[in-house]
Structure 1
Amino acid sequence: MSEFLTTFTSDLKDNLAGFIGVSVTEVKTGMSFASLSVNPNFDPELASAYNLEVVKAKLSAIKALGLASKLDDILITLSDQLHIIDLSENGDYFVYLAVDSSKVNLGMARATLKKYSKDIASKM
């Protein structure tokens, strides 16, 4: 698992323009299994801890509304950054990605994240 996550985080950093940071977190426990940041002032594990509450709230809302829909991702748009929270296929993990919005296209960021995160559930 450790080698997979190291490769996963490095691939995102190397292949995504504007990469700031990423972490992989378990929804049930809030435990972060991997994180990487190119900015020493940005802690993706801390951000994931807060964003776990966002994920849980959205999952609760979906359940309360009786929706049959599955949560794929959550987009948070800041003035200079995009934060994407992508749930694994089985919903057990999420990938939290932060990118510089002036250097990346949202569609490319989502596509690249999906490309590299598709195996999270099966590798964990």
Structure 2
Amino acid sequence: MNLASRTVTSPPRQVVRAVLHEALESKSGGEVVVKSTSVSGRIFVVERKVAWTVLTGPGARSFSTALIDARLVSREDVEQVMSECRKNGGNFCETLVAWGLVERDTLRDLLCQHLGGQLDALLGLTEVQALFVPQPRSYSSQMTFKLEELASPAQPPSEAPRLEVPQSQVPPLLLEREAMANVKQALEEALKIDGAFAVCLADAKSGMTLGSAGSAGFNIEAAAAGNTEVVRAKMKTMQLLGIKDRIEDILITLGEQYHIIRPLSTRDGLFLYIALNRASANLAMARFRLAELEKTIQV
């Protein structure tokens, strides 16, 4: 996989915008991974348009929360739609429209506003890293946007806003603090497995990393994002073959490393991804320990 990565301390808007333009010009599409000292995010690009953004950190909130805050849907509505999407792989926004919960034009306007706000926040980060991960994917919705529909015009470095949200206005984080602490503890324990040097918990649907730990010299988040297609392809193949079973784990054997993907049995769509040095790893023990750690994760 060809990955393009850039790191700068200033000016922030130019580097993120440049990598995003690279993604938008790519025929294959993919995602732009953005990370600063306090906030990170992902921008998903399909057919040279922005399809979705994910922002994590103080002040971040999901689109479903925005819908609830706007009193367009209830929390119960969101849970039912998400459950349906997990079952059939449907698109969240398209399902909302199909169920008659929100009018398409209203939903598109709110989505444009939400994605635009998140994108503007990512473009305004300082001490930022930006990585383009080419990743062809289909997208079952026409609610995609050109960059000029979402992002504010580029500003001089001195005028680039910082992502600062008054403490009194900070909405709930994407994960509750207790869940984040639980995930962090599980990942730290995973690093104690013989040979382990990087591990993360990722979402197979979006490629988003919910938590990571380990070597700064190995981009475990990019590895997990790239291998979401492996998980999806295996699940699709099982459906085609009529195999009614769950994936226990997927092993990728490299010359000097083992990579193990272990989907969570307790949370559909999430998986652990761990990288180990072959020279010092005991594969059987690593799989056993990972299976035990999976049981401790609560998200």
Q: TM-score, normalised by structure 2?
A: 0.39
Query: Structure 1: where are the runs of 5+ without partners?
Result: none
Counterpart CA distance in 2 for 1:37 and 1:117 is: 18
Shift of residue 119, structure 1, vs aligned partner? 3.1
Aligned residues of 1:37 and 1:43 also touching (Cα < 8 A): no
| 2:199 alignment partner in structure 1 | 22
Aligned residues of 1:76 and 1:82 also touching (Cα < 8 A): yes
| 1:62 alignment partner in structure 2 | 238
Counterpart CA distance in 1 for 2:261 and 2:233 is: 13
Counterpart CA distance in 2 for 1:18 and 1:94 is: 20
**Structure 2 residue aligned with 1:7, among 152, 176, 185?**
185
1:16-44 deviation digits (Å, cap 9, x = unpaired): 11111101011222211001122x22011
The answer as to 2:254 corresponding to 1:72 is no
1:43-96 deviation digits (Å, cap 9, x = unpaired): 111000011010000001001111122111100000111000001104321000
**Structure 1 residue aligned with 2:214, among 37, 41, 45?**
37
Counterpart CA distance in 2 for 1:30 and 1:50 is: 8
Aligned residues of 2:195 and 2:282 also touching (Cα < 8 A): no
**Structure 2 residue aligned with 1:110, among 284, 287, 290?**
287
Query: Structure 2: where are the runs of 5+ without partners?
Result: 1-178
SS of residue matched to 1:75: strand
Question: Higher RCO, 1 or 2 (CA under 8 Å, sep at least 6)?
Answer: 1
| 2:259 alignment partner in structure 1 | 83
Highest Rg: 1 or 2?
2
Counterpart CA distance in 2 for 1:69 and 1:113 is: 19
Counterpart CA distance in 1 for 2:209 and 2:249 is: 18
Counterpart CA distance in 1 for 2:187 and 2:240 is: 34
Q: Using the aligned pairs only, state the percent identity.
A: 32
The CA RMSD measured in Å over matched residues stands at: 1.1
Q: Which has the higher strand share?
A: 1
The answer as to 2:47 corresponding to 1:47 is no
Counterpart CA distance in 2 for 1:88 and 1:5 is: 12
Aligned residues of 2:190 and 2:290 also touching (Cα < 8 A): yes
How many residues align? The count is: 120
Counterpart CA distance in 1 for 2:252 and 2:245 is: 20
Amino acid paired to 1:95? L
Amino acid paired to 2:194? A
SS of residue matched to 1:71: coil
